[in-house]
């Protein structure tokens, strides 16, 4: 039996009003489709927090800085809805671009400092598109809770900020990153990796592990930690580093020269095609919050 799928905002809003009137709690999981087991974990978490689990499937054009990337993004609505059905999702929302961005639309949502570094620096306008479409989806579905993956750490931070700033009555929940057996974070982009690029992509995991091990061993100097990370990434010839940075986990401000508390290690690489090849370049991201142990200072009794 196929899952129910709604295509218009007006119909979705009417359904939300009815469910709320019946005392039901709605959870929304916004996605761009190309669903995989990582998304299914979001659906499971949503089910734990709500009576109704709704999934939006919309490839948002305003968050792509490269038209070729937008054109190449996988679209497989039938198989996505089948995965939703098997995962126990109650409703799919699959609008087209004209439904989400009606003719003459002029309003955008833009978050400031949180959206500026990392992916914001390398993909200008990306988070403006994310913030705008997420705000629209929250207005359309009227959920009490919305679930996002922690793999997109900066995106989650931006969404939490916009919800606070715009006084939106919705709880934002972050779900842990789901990984493949070798540690690579699940991503719809992984399907574009050729076998050699897929093997080399594990350099991201090795870089995170190296930094975590160094911190556990007592390393606190930011530049030495980043040198370890860069060395691991450089060991993968086809991985071109976009950024490898240590940031405050809350504000995303640059980490101090010497760590004194938890720090976000954020990575992004371009997996390039082999030399002389016209294959696809695939951008991958990953992150981990590192937790230096606090040194106890002994004090003599007066």
What's the CA gap between 196 and 192, in Å, rounded?
11
> Quick one: CA torsion of 106, 147, 182, 34, rounded to 10 degrees?
-50
Is 183 within 8 Å of 202 (Cβ atoms)?
yes
39 is catalytic: yes
- What Cα–Cα distance (Å) separates residue 152 from each residue in 64, 75, 171, 185? 15, 20, 17, 11
Rounded Cα gap, residues 61 and 130, in angstroms? 10
Catalytic pick among 39, 126, 192, 291:
39
Show the tokens assigned to 13: 């809003």
CA 8/CA 100 separation, integer angstroms: 9
Q: How far apart (Å, rounded) are the C-alpha atoms in residues 175 and 177?
A: 7
Element (H, E) at 55: strand 52-57
Structure tokens at 169: 């009555």
Q: Coil, strand, or helix at residue 189?
A: helix
Q: Which tokens is 134 given?
A: 């997420």
Cβ atoms of 240 and 269 within 8 Å: the answer is yes
The residues carrying an active-site annotation are 39
């Amino acid at each position: 039996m196929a899952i129910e799928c709604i295509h218009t905002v007006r119909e979705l809003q009417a359904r939300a009003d009815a469910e709320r009137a019946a005392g039901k709690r709605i959870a929304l999981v916004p996605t761009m489709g190309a669903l995989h087991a990582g998304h299914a974990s979001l659906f499971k978490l949503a089910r734990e927090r709500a009576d109704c689990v709704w999934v939006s499937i919309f490839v948002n054009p305003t968050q792509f800085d490269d038209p070729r990337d937008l054109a190449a993004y996988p679209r497989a609505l039938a198989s996505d809805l089948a995965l939703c059905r098997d995962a126990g999702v109650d409703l799919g929302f699959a609008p087209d671009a004209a439904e989400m961005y009606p003719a003459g639309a002029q309003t955008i949502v833009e978050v400031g400092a949180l959206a500026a570094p990392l992916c914001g620096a390398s993909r200008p306008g990306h988070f403006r598109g994310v913030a705008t479409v997420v705000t629209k989806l929250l207005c359309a579905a009227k959920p009490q809770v919305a679930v996002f993956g922690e793999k997109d750490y900066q995106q989650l931070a931006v969404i939490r900020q916009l919800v606070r700033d715009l006084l939106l009555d919705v709880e934002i929940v972050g779900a842990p990153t789901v990984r493949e057996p070798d540690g690579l974070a699940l991503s719809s982009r992984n399907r574009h990796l050729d076998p050699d690029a897929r093997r080399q992509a594990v350099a991201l995991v090795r870089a995170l592990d190296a930094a975590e091990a160094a911190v556990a061993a007592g390393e606190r100097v930011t530049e030495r930690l980043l040198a370890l990370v860069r060395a691991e990434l450089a060991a993968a010839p086809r991985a071109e580093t976009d950024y490898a940075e240590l940031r405050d986990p809350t504000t995303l401000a640059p980490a101090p020269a010497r760590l004194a508390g938890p720090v976000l290690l954020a990575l992004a690489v371009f997996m390039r095609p082999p030399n002389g090849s016209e294959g696809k370049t695939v951008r991958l991201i990953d992150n981990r919050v590192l937790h230096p142990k606090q040194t106890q200072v002994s004090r003599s009794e007066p």
